[in-house]
Amino acid sequence: MGLKDIIVGDPEGKTLYEKWRDRGKEKPVRNDDTLSFNPVHAQVGGYALIDGVEFKGRFEIKAVALYDKGYDQILRCLIEDGEQNRILEIATEKKTKELKYFLFTLVDEFGFNEDFYNELGGPDLPDPNGLIYTNSLRTKEPIKAQVTIVEDPFASVQKKSFEIWAYSRKRNDGLDEYLHIEMDTDDGWILLQTGIELIATDISFLPAPKT
């Protein structure tokens, strides 16, 4: 190989200088890969594959959020389903340590409302459709969670603090349905989400395409 090959290039399309220069480069680390709890390796830009009875499809993951409650951690993935916002939640069963999956749908959101806030933590709570849910926590006090949100895996993450209330009810078919309420403690914005548990074998994940 002569000087011309070094300057112009080799059959692989790179000069020796380019190969030497690129050899020391490390791939950037994705923020969603460094979360302290992400057992399914969910990635922004990747996909959640769901093959359940009530819900199935291939859904792009738009954001990943780690909820740290101090004694427990859960992962929540915002998935794109047309114009409907859905949340795929991954948690750990306390006794068996097995992963559990829940699918939530956003049913309402609004700014801080003192009357509604004062109702939270009570024994029962109606959802926007009038269905009655029972307090799963059996306490007036909400769960407090520090939340790390990844929307762009290579940009700065968002840090938030949420208060969370958990309710549930039995559906007519005997299955449990959950009402998840969370409030951003910075601005008081409240989200109401209803959801069901999914079968673990019906869920799989695809990584984001390599760039």
SS3 label, residue 129:
coil
pLDDT of residue 17: 60
pLDDT of residue 88: 97
Would residue 92 count as lying in a domain? yes
Q: Look at residues 148, 194, 196, 200 and name the one whose alpha carbon lies nearest to residue 35.
A: 148
pLDDT of residue 21: 63
Q: Rounded to an integer, what distance in angstroms lies between the CA atom of residue 189 and that of residue 109?
A: 7
Phi, psi (degrees; rounded to nearest 5) at 16:
-60, -35
Residue 62's Cβ-side half-sphere holds a number of Cα atoms within 13 Å equal to 11
Would residue 198 count as lying in a domain? yes
Domain that holds residue 67: 31-206
Would residue 111 count as lying in a domain? yes
* Residues of the chain where predicted confidence (pLDDT) is lower than 70: 1-26, 211
Q: Rounded to an integer, what distance in angstroms lies between the CA atom of residue 8 and that of residue 14?
A: 8
SS3 label, residue 209:
coil
pLDDT of residue 129: 84
pLDDT of residue 1: 46
Would residue 21 count as lying in a domain? no
Would residue 167 count as lying in a domain? yes
Q: Look at residues 19, 87, 62, 54 and name the one whose alpha carbon lies nearest to residue 153.
A: 62
Q: Look at residues 165, 123, 127 and name the one whose alpha carbon lies nearest to residue 145.
A: 165
Would residue 191 count as lying in a domain? yes
pLDDT digits (tens, 9 = 90+) for 152-166: 999 999 999 999 999
Would residue 17 count as lying in a domain? no
Q: Rounded to an integer, what distance in angstroms lies between the CA atom of residue 141 and that of residue 183?
A: 13
Q: Rounded to an integer, what distance in angstroms lies between the CA atom of residue 125 and that of residue 180?
A: 11
Query: CA–CA distance from 44 to each of 24, 61, 65, 70 (Å)?
Result: 27, 5, 10, 25
Would residue 35 count as lying in a domain? yes
Q: Rounded to an integer, what distance in angstroms lies between the CA atom of residue 110 and that of residue 45?
A: 28
pTM for this predicted structure: 0.84
Left if phi > 0, otherwise alpha if psi is -120 to 50, otherwise beta: which for 204? beta
Domains in the chain: how many in total? 1
The DSSP output letter for 17 is H
